[in-house]
A and B are shown apart, each in its own frame.
Chain A
């Protein structure tokens, strides 16, 4: 399972034949922040034009969504890519129908993936058929491409020529963010050398703009193979992996394998006593030590082979659940030799590892010792076995601590007061022309209804998109950077924010629409003002215009970013950059409120199905990777402790069996059942205790490291470690006590009769 996952993660984008020469152009705007991949329309052709010796191809990819209509059916397609015509020449997505060089030449063409083609046209040939996009464009299907594999960072259902947009005014502006630019470098071109020339390029095309904005842009090239593991953000909505999750997954797999091997070694060694006569007899009959070692390792390898067959059957059975856990569909490529090589490697390695100790141990007996059945598992061996149990349980306790800490942090994040009201609040994206054009009537329609408390249009809901702009502020010599929110006057009311100084936006003040802003406490503090001092100061958004606006109020800090990020400065300006409508319902029937919103939406954008999310559910999407880590850890730490307990159970049953005589003697001498139970369980639990002591500092260290991902952290209480110890002990005691009780209740006469 883990092999498939890791192979898939590290093979992302490796299927593109020209992959080693493909780079994505990244734009930097702040040296302290990660670069973003969104550029504007002119970049691609300009790069190709200015660096013809270095750049062979430049392909723009603009992810968008569209309402696709065929006959009476309309679907809101979320993964539509508008691309340059050479898209399929650059990327090897595998066209099934159509020619890579001409399939997107005609501006009114479109290429569908196999699944999308089936969705619209069933089993009939889609080539030549026409579909309608956004009730305006008629596009003819010119090709069908294989479904995008799970190991691709790009993910589309339809591909259309970007030439449909190239004449739009917004598309021709350098100052815009709407598409990725991929370049294919000529053979032998050093990307670092090319990057050195980009400052001149930026100066040539954007020098004036940047000077006016007091901003600095730089460009860089990210190799195609590295894109997937770049940090995911709302500024880069292609598919990203998380190396941390991969390594956590890998570590757990290794740990579980270690636990399982330890069990095998321990139990096989214990079985040595039972098999001593066989070993003796084989030696008397002429077996050499080497042949015995071969026999036992062979047995171990055979057992691993059988286990592998069962594991594959189990894998096929639980694949759907596993795909759900991973968050994407993983395919097993039985045609690939890699999987067989891996299985062979695992069988040999695990078989040898697990079989080596018992093999060398068993074959070392003299024939007489072995034949008399007087094999003693010496004190050194006992110590080794106990040490292995310690390793197993250290791993289990460590995993339990990690699981509890992730759960605790997630519940801390979930329950933290974020400083805004998220209950009964619905977010509707303004993501098509109809709803955008009719947004005011949509809002008025909602406001007229008694179930609706308030409605605000804004550029990003909390946890959503917040661009970073540079500002000039009264009394400041340096340019100031802050996040921006563009919203209407109902922003503060709808999100339930508190004004700590000054006032909210108000229609009573004629200048508020064009001449006012709100800032948050952090912004005031960073500017060196108290909230009261900040009110009245002028501020210029360099990236917007040169108008002086005045700070009319300061809002109490609220967590508008993920809790992984520290509180940032925020400037809220009234503007028509409406990307979402946030609707606060009055307490009561949410379903009724939702119906009202749907009716108003249908009126405003009748062709489009309404999409919505609840603001309080934003948690699940923001912390998706962390929640996945939590599930993975919970499942696998459960598995780890289960396997460790299987080993402990085997060891307990062996120990109880080995100590039958001793238990008999103790009972004859007056020991009670409780005494025997305490004696046996205590002995078995000692390694568990040692394991707990070892695992606690390791768990503390690793949890502390993981928590560094968050700006807001749950405290690491001692009870987390106590609880992990109690869980482990509880399970271990349950495992051991069964065998101990059986031994303690046995009639001593029977145990001593053999004497």
Chain B
């Protein structure tokens, strides 16, 4: 299943947070690779740099040093505009707190990435319906996020993440706000997506969730300390 072609190649990545008095090292010459079709879990204690790494992989943040090659292109020094363009066509995000927009319905939330990538209205409706159907949330299409349970909200968030058919899904503690039953359902969904060819990088504190991945990368103080290949 796992293809050998590299999707992500990170080398000696550095990221610092500076305040007036203190400089904190978030990523300390971190290197890693993720192949296309791989499902990787990133684990580590709070403050080890997991989320920072995920943000840089997701092109939401700049590294301060090192190299980041995405699909064979060096993007470490890309402009905000170029990164945004690359991001919206290639990456889907799933957050711990779902990050759905309260003022928009389920349908509108899922439709949003398609609007930003310029998909025509008729085509958008079709694709949103497909993905809602697939996530078994179609009957809630006209509801607002606050009318849904946590599990349902995360399904909507996943639907939104995949509607643009991204090559990579970045999930930041996707089950963190869910009970175990809903958490398992979400992990099943991610596994399905991965099996259909989507590369997934997931940050988690949960050993249980990490076991759904092919590989676990453990971080401490901003660099890799261990990698476990899951059998």
A binding-site residues for B, Cβ under 8 Å: 661-662, 664-672, 675, 747-749, 752-753, 755
Contacts of B116 in A (CB 8 A): 666, 669-672, 675
Contact A665 B84 (CB under 8 A): no
A672 and B97 contact, CB distance less than 8 A: no
* Interface pairs A-B: 7 shortest CB-CB: A670-B88, A670-B116, A755-B97, A669-B113, A665-B99, A749-B60, A662-B101
B182 interface residue (CB < 8 Å to A)? no
The chain B residue with its CB closest to the CB of A748 is B60
Q: Cβ of B39 < 8 Å from any Cβ of A?
A: no
- Interface membership of B96, Cβ < 8 A: yes
Query: In this complex, what residue of B is CB-closest to A753?
Result: B51
Contacts of B68 in A (CB 8 A): none
The smallest beta-carbon distance between A392 and chain B, in angstroms, is: 24
Q: How far is the CB of B153 from chain A (nearest CB, A)?
A: 13
A275 to B73, CA, bound (A): 49
Q: Are B61 and A749 in contact (CB under 8 A)?
A: yes
Q: CB-CB < 8 A to B28: which residues of A?
A: none
Per the bound structure, the CA–CA distance linking A661 and B104 in Å amounts to 13
**Residue among A661, A665, A667, A671 with the most chain B CB within 10 A?**
A665
CA distance A668 to B100 in the complex (A): 12
Across the interface, name the chain B residue whose C-beta is closest to A671.
B116
B113 engages A670 (CB within 8 Å): yes
In contact, B88 and A747 (Cβ under 8 angstroms)? no
Q: What is the bound-complex CA distance between A665 and B60, given in angstroms?
A: 11
Q: In the complex, which residues of chain A have a beta carbon less than 8 angstroms from the beta carbon of B113?
A: 669-670
Q: Residue of B at shortest CB range from A382?
A: B103
A668 to B90 alpha-carbon distance, docked (Å): 12
Shortest CB-to-CB span from A683 to chain B, Å, is: 10
Asked if B127 lies at the interface with its beta carbon under 8 angstroms from chain A, I say no
The distance in angstroms between the C-alpha atoms of A755 and B113, with both chains bound, is 21
Task: Please indicate which of the listed interface residues A667, A672, A749, A753 has the most CB atoms of chain B within 10 Å of its own CB.
Answer: A749
Residues on the A chain within 8 Å of B101, using CB: 662, 665-666
A661–B101 Cα gap in the complex (Å)? 8
Interchain pairs with CB closer than 8 A, number: 49
- Residue B31 lies at the interface, judged by CB distance under 8 Å to chain A: no
Contacting A at CB under 8 A, from B58-102, are 58, 60-61, 81, 84-85, 87-89, 93, 95-97, 99-102
Q: How many residues of B sit at the interface, in one of the four size bands?
A: 20 to 34
Nearest CB to that of B86 among chain A residues?
A: A670
Q: Is B84's CB under 8 angstroms from A667's CB?
A: yes
Residues of chain B lying within 8 A (CB to CB) of residue A662: 101-103
Q: Which residues of A contact B97 (CB under 8 A)?
A: 755
B105 close to A (CB within 8 Å): no
Distance of A670 Cα from B81 Cα, bound (Å):
10
**Contact: B99 with A755, CB < 8 Å?**
yes
Q: Cβ of B55 < 8 Å from any Cβ of A?
A: yes
Contact A755 B117 (CB under 8 A): no
User: How far, in whole Å, are A271 and B81 apart by their CA atoms in the complex?
Assistant: 35
Q: Give 5 CB contacts A-B under 8 Å.
A: A665-B101, A666-B116, A668-B93, A672-B81, A755-B95
Q: How far is the CB of B89 from chain A (nearest CB, A)?
A: 8
Q: How far is the CA of A102 from the CA of B178 in the complex (A)?
A: 102
Residues of B within 8 A of A (CB): 51, 55, 58, 60-61, 81, 84-85, 87-89, 93, 95-97, 99-103, 112-113, 116-117, 160
Which residues in A have their C-beta under 8 angstroms from that of B96? 755
Q: In the complex, A747→B62 CA distance in Å? A: 11
Chain B residues, Cβ within 8 Å of A667: 84
Q: Which residue of B lies closest to A661 (CB)?
A: B99
A131 to B155, CA, bound (A): 102
What residues on A are CB-neighbors of B55 within 8 Å?
749
Query: What's the minimum C-beta distance from A741 to chain B, rounded to whole angstroms?
Result: 14
In Å, the complex CA distance between A224 and B67 comes to: 92
Report the nearest A residue to B116, measured CB to CB: A670
Asked if A670 and B87 sit within 8 Å, CB to CB, the answer is yes
- In the assembled complex, the Cα of A753 lies from the Cα of B50 at a distance in Å of 12
Residue in B closest to A668 when the chains form the complex, CB atoms: B93
Assembled-state Cα–Cα distance A273/B60 (Å): 29
How far is the CB of A743 from the nearest CB of chain B, in Å?
Answer: 14
How far, in whole Å, are A753 and B112 apart by their CA atoms in the complex? 21
Chain B residue contacts of A661, Cβ below 8 A? 99
CB contact under 8 A between A672 and B84, given known A665-B99, A749-B55, A755-B99: yes
**Contacts of B95 on A, CB cut-off 8 Å?**
752, 755
| Inter-chain contacts of A748 with B (CB < 8 A) | 60
Min CB gap A753→B, angstroms: 8
For A675, list chain B residues within 8 Å (CB).
116
A665–B112 alpha-carbon span in the complex (Å): 10
With both chains docked as a complex, state the minimum distance between the C-beta of A573 and any C-beta of chain B, in angstroms.
80
Question: Given the complex of chains A and B, what is the CA–CA distance between A662 and B100 in angstroms?
Answer: 8
Docked complex Cα distance between A672 and B87 (Å): 12
* Cβ–Cβ < 8 Å partners of A669 in chain B: 88, 93, 112-113, 116, 160
**A749 to B61 CA separation, bound complex (whole angstroms):** 7
Kindly list 18 other residue pairs between chains A and B, CB separation below 8 angstroms, not including A664-B99, A670-B84, A755-B95: A662-B101, A665-B99, A665-B101, A666-B101, A668-B60, A668-B87, A668-B99, A669-B88, A669-B113, A669-B116, A670-B85, A670-B89, A670-B116, A675-B116, A747-B60, A747-B61, A749-B60, A755-B99
Task: List, in ascending order, chain B residues with CB within 8 A of A664's CB.
Answer: 99
Distance in Å from the Cβ of A91 to the closest Cβ of chain B? Answer: 70
Residues in B with CB closer than 8 Å to A752 are 95, 99
Q: Which of A669, A749, A753 has the most CB of B within 10 A?
A: A669
- Complex CA gap A662/B98 in Å reads 12
Shortest beta-carbon distance from A665 to chain B in Å: 5
- Inter-chain CA distance A292–B102, complex, in Å, is 31
Closest CB-CB distance, A661 to chain B, in whole Å? 7
Report B56 CB to chain A, min CB distance, Å: 9
- A749 contact set on B, CB distance < 8 A: 55, 60-61
Rounded to whole Å, the gap between the CB of B45 and the closest CB of chain A is 18
The CA of A667 and the CA of B99, in the complex, are separated in Å by 12
Shortest beta-carbon distance from B103 to chain A in Å: 7
The answer to whether B60 touches A666 (Cβ under 8 A) is: no
Q: Whole-angstrom distance between the alpha carbons of A675 and B89 in the complex? A: 17
Tell me, rounded to whole Å, the shortest Cβ–Cβ distance linking A46 to chain B: 84
The distance in angstroms between the C-alpha atoms of A665 and B108, with both chains bound, is: 13
Inter-chain CA distance A662–B97, complex, in Å, is 13
Tell me, in angstroms, the Cα distance from A671 to B116 when the chains sit together. 6
- CB contacts (< 8 Å) of B89 on chain A: these are 670
* Contact partner, A670, options B99, B102, B117, Cβ 8 Å: B117
Q: Complex: how many Å from CA A734 to CA B216? A: 51
Cα–Cα distance between A662 and B95 once the two chains are bound (Å): 13
Closest CB-CB distance, A459 to chain B, in whole Å? Answer: 75
Q: Which residue of B lies closest to A666 (CB)?
A: B112
Chain B residues, Cβ within 8 Å of A665:
99-101
Give the distance to chain A from B91, nearest Cβ to Cβ, in Å: 9
Q: For the complex formed, measure the closest distance between the CB of B108 and the CB atoms of chain A, giving whole angstroms.
A: 12
- In the bound complex, residues from chain A placing their C-beta under 8 Å from that of B58 are 668
Bound together, the chains give a CA A749 to CA B84 distance in angstroms of 13
What is the CB-to-nearest-CB distance from B162 to chain A, in angstroms, rounded to a whole number? 12
Interface centre among B61, B99, B102 (most CB of A within 10 A): B99
What is the distance, in angstroms, from A751's C-beta to the closest C-beta of chain B? Answer: 10
Which of A668, A749, A755 is packed against the most chain B CB atoms within 10 Å?
A668
Contacts of B112 in A (CB 8 A): 666, 669
Q: Closest approach, in angstroms, between the C-beta of B40 and any C-beta of chain A? A: 20
Contact partners of A672 in chain B: CB under 8 A:
81, 84, 116
Q: How far is the CA of A520 from the CA of B100 in the complex (A)?
A: 80
Closest to B58 in A: A668
Could you tell me the distance between the alpha carbons of A666 and B93 in the complex, rounded to whole angstroms? Answer: 11
Q: How far is the CB of A157 from chain B (nearest CB, A)?
A: 71
- Give every chain A residue within 8 A of B60 (Cβ-Cβ): 668, 747-749
Nearest to B163 among chain A residues (CB) is A669
Report Cα–Cα, A664/B99, bound state, in Å. 9
B198: shortest Cβ distance to chain A, in Å? 17
Q: B117: which A residues are within 8 A, CB to CB?
A: 670
Give bound CA distance, A664 to B60, whole Å: 10
For the complex, give the distance between the alpha carbons of A661 and B113 in Å: 16
Q: Closest chain B residue to A754 by CB distance? A: B97
Q: Chain B nearest CB: distance from A680 CB in Å?
A: 13
